Amino acid sequence: MGDWDDLRVFLAVARAESLTAAAPGLRMDPATVGRRIARLEDRLGAALFVKSPQGYALTDRGLRMREHAARAEEALTQAVEEGQGAAGLTGQIRIGAPDGCANFLLPRVCAAIRADNPGLEVQVLALPRVVNLSKREADMAVTVSPPDAGRLTVQKITDYHLHLAMRRDGPVPQTLGDLRGQAMVGYIPDMIFDRELDYLGDLGMGGVQMASNSVAVQLQMLRAGGVGIVHDFALPFAPELHRVLVSQVSLTRAFYLVRHAADRRSDRINRFAAALLAGLRAEVARREAEVAQGGSATMA
């Protein structure tokens, strides 16, 4: 197939399904990436991609090539790790996560991991959908439901809690009936990508009047008024808000860490995953404790 650099370019385009999306990670311009793919296909005498205005989709030959290329990549990574021994983590690791976790938990956790491993590059892919690990969109993903298919390993990270929240400067409701007339903030109903995120459906509450597919945007909506379900760990970032009707409305969900099964042999990925698990557990516990104590939490 040629040298490793050809393999690297092919895998980047296969995962990104676009020359433009693949180019930054390769530190090339899209035209150069396109020429490299064309040269590789010419050398192999076969088309690896179907090109269209929508992007680059793998052909059957390309799909088979991706499997072999991914295994070669794993073998090369493992060889490099063995050569590094127990030194600090280096290279790039990408984590996919729902935007609540990506916005309010991962920045601090990943910064702490990097402080101990300055040669490491951490990327957080925040998506309002499930990250596709089979296409190697990320090295690992935080999810709110454990997947039931694919060659994956799953570890529960921690439970987290959610409550109704609204601005502190309004009347404090005593019953759910007191919320009549308040704008309900939540997810866009047809964009709820995981059953665990259908909070209002579980509570038997009505529809939403202010909606977004982003938890971060929902939080900003609540700062402007209304009422909605909020992660306890996100409340420290919005001191204008407080929990209401805590004894009547309380939800518990969980985060899971999902990885490629083949990465179980990777000391580097295992060490990073262990640090990520410990960091996320500690950060959720810390943020929730701040909220339970009624403090307007620190951002540090």
**Spatial separation of the C-alpha atoms in residues 219 and 214, rounded to whole Å:** 9
What is the total residue count of the chain?
300
- Residues 23-53 have pLDDT tens digits of 988 889 999 999 999 988 888 888 999 998 8
Query: Does the pLDDT at position 81 exceed 80?
Result: no
Superfamily of domain 91-157+254-292: Periplasmic binding protein-like II (3.40.190.10)
- Angle at CA of residue 73, ends 106 and 123, nearest 5°: 15
Helix 19-26 vs helix 4-16: crossing angle, to nearest 10:
130
Backbone angles phi, psi at 187, to 5 degrees: -75, 150
Strands 120-126 and 210-211: unpaired
| Residue entry with tokens 């295994």 | 71
User: DSSP per residue over 170-205, as a string?
Assistant: SPPPSSGGGGTTSPEEE--GGG--SGGG-HHHHHT-
CB of 212 closer than 8 Å to CB of 100: no
Q: In this model, does residue 165 exceed pLDDT 70?
A: yes
DSSP letters spanning 53-108: TTEEEE-HHHHHHHHHHHHHHHHHHHHHHHHHTTS---EEEEEEE-HHHHHHTHHH
Q: By the 8 A CB rule, do 48 and 62 touch?
A: yes
Q: Which CATH architecture has domain 159-252?
A: 3-Layer(aba) Sandwich (3.40)
- Mean pLDDT across 6-13: 87
Encode 62-95: b = buried (16+ Cβ within 10 Å), e = exposed. beebbeebbeeebeebbeebeeeeeeebeeebbb
What pLDDT, in 10s, does the model give residues 221-253? 999 999 999 999 999 999 999 999 999 999 999
Angle between helices 19-26 and 30-44 (to 10 degrees): 100
**pLDDT > 70: percent of the chain:** 86
Give tens-digit pLDDT for 86-127: 567 888 899 999 999 999 999 999 999 999 999 899 999 887
Question: Residue 295 — pLDDT band, cuts 50, 70, 90?
Answer: very low
Q: How many CB atoms lie within 10 A of CB 122?
A: 19
Boundaries of CATH 3.40.190.10 in the chain? 91-157+254-292, 159-252
CB-neighbour burial class of residue 22 (10 A; exposed 0-12, middle 13-18, buried 19+): buried
DSSP string, 107-167: HHHHHHHHHH-TTEEEEEEE-SS---TTTTS-SEEEESS---SSSEEEEEEEEEEEEEEEE
17: three-class secondary structure by DSSP: coil
- pLDDT, residue 64, reads 82
C-alpha to C-alpha distance for 181 and 40, rounded to whole angstroms: 62
Name the phi and psi angles at 186, rounded to 5: -175, -160
The CATH class of the 4-84 domain is mainly alpha
